[in-house]
Copies of this chain bind each other. A is one copy, B any other.
Amino acid sequence: MEEVIYNKVTPQLIQEFKKIIPGKVHEKEEINEDYFHDEMPIYGKGIPEVVIEATNTEDIAAIVKLCFENNIPVIPRGAGTGLTGAAVALHGGVLIDMSKMNKILDYDMENFVVRVEPGVLLNTLAEDAKNQGLLYPPDPGEKFATLGGNVSTNAGGMRAVKYGCTRDYVRAMTVVLPTGEIIHLGASVSKTSTGYSLIHLMIGSEGTLGIITELTLKVIPAPKETISLIVPFENLKDCIGAVPKIFMAGLKPQALEFMEKEIVLSSERYLGKNVFPKEVEGVNIGAYLLITFDGDRMDLLEELSEQAAEVVLEEGAVDVLVADTPVKKKDAWEARSTFLEAIEAETKLLDECDVVVPVNQIPTYLSFVKSLEDQYDFAIKSFGHAGDGNLHIYACANEMEEEEFKRQVAEFMDIIYKKAAECGGLISGEHGIGSGKMEYLAAFAGETSMRLMKGIKEVFDPKMILNPGKICYKL
């Protein structure tokens, strides 16, 4: 690989862009500062020279072709809700705002797929599918991310434990390659053994291999009923210990989240509501499971809940509270859904990790992480997906200088990423690598795997113009 040298966007090129997409090419002070960062500004800002509102596949291909010919970086960006700096224009260039391509194109009710533009928000598809009697199963915490962004990070979310991740719902896509060529991958079918899986390579590639301009996603008939259980435990170890027993009993929860008391308190302060019990019959509660079952008949769900209650009580649960009314369910899940917002509201300096460890390693891993708290000036808060071992660990500080916070966090992260690997886990469960986690990925994956990733990047993007400085190539 020769050294990469990017050119600046010239006034002449801007004129050419404007001919391709009139009225949607912005530069200089027309560019909103929101485009300079994602939800984790601590990983650095980047100022694009031009922002273009995406219109359609062909226009994007024409823009990218010009950038390819002129060695100009191109950065695709969805709703900017990422947590790793993946959509930030670190090397200037042209940022393409994919959130402007936001039409749900059509449902195919015989093959159970929906065709969408990549800028459709998760929440929009979720609501629209519901109106069709369908469920789009992936349910990441951030409902206002774009589906293109979800695919680009293989977003997971609450329902992954039963239904899998975004990857499992991508049937086909249209992609503009860094050369400006257009390819179509996949089909409205669930089986394929048709050459190397380029579609699975695109999924989770965070906008570094191609720009997704259309998606065909699997949907399923919506389950008619849900029921949720709040299960308080004295401590996290008992709480997590109950999880494999729930599966072994043949119960298949739609969602299975754990939360420690401290983060519940933080969320309840934020919402101004008291939802979870803090003491039951004299026992101080230290952790909770929040479990949802779905199905078509409430009587069967009630039976399932009873079976689940037996299992968790056997495993040391202090109580089982059934949230069977819309209000109770909403309260419980609203508390869970606002964890990140609650943390953000209380915190000036924030960094996070998103490791995933085998489910039975959660208590070991979290005890280790907490044992580090005394060594640092920031607070550590955590919650996560008990059903799949995906943990969100936040370093939070209000009184520290940013440089000192960054120094301490870097040391802390280094230690806890190594521990995740030791526990048989991975660097990221669902947030991705972006620019913020590159060194941890490199340390974890090792030289050989990184050489393969870099080689793949060069095959797709021989001039390194697409979303540079992310995942495997630090320029």
Contacts and interface: CB of A to CB of B under 8 A. Distances in A.
Contacts of A156: 191, 193
Given A204-B196, A449-B183, A471-B196, A110 B191 contact: no
A80 B317 CA distance: 51
Contacts of A165: 190-191
Contacts of A453: 195-196, 198
A38 interface: no
Nearest to A441: B195
Contact of A456 (B196, B221, B390, B446): B196
Copies of this polypeptide in the complex:
2
Interface stretch (A11-19, A26-34, A278-286, A422-430): A422-430
| Interface SS majority for chain A | loop
Contacts of A183: 446, 448-449, 452
Interface in A326-372: 354, 356-360
Interface in A196-224: 196-198, 200-201, 203-205, 209, 221, 223-224
- In the complex, which range does the number of interface residues on chain A fall in? 35 or more
Residue of A160, A181, A441 contacting most chain B CB atoms (<10 Å): A181
Nearest to A446: B183
A110 B188 contact: no
A351 to B, nearest CB: 17
A448 B182 CA distance: 8
B425 A187 contact: yes
A81 interface: no
A205 B201 CA distance: 13
B448 A192 contact: no
Nearest to A440: B194
A4 interface: no
Contacts of A431: 193
Given A221-B247, A300-B300, A194 B445 contact: yes
A388 B191 contact: yes
B205 A196 contact: yes
Nearest to A427: B194
A385 interface: yes
A108 interface: yes
Contacts of A203: 197, 200
B356 A191 contact: yes
Given A112-B247, A459-B452, A424 B168 contact: no
Contacts of A441: 194-195
7 contacts: A160-B190, A160-B191, A164-B168, A177-B448, A187-B424, A189-B390, A193-B204
Return the 6 tightest CB-CB contacts between A and B, nearest first. Answer: A455-B459, A200-B200, A110-B360, A191-B429, A110-B244, A156-B191
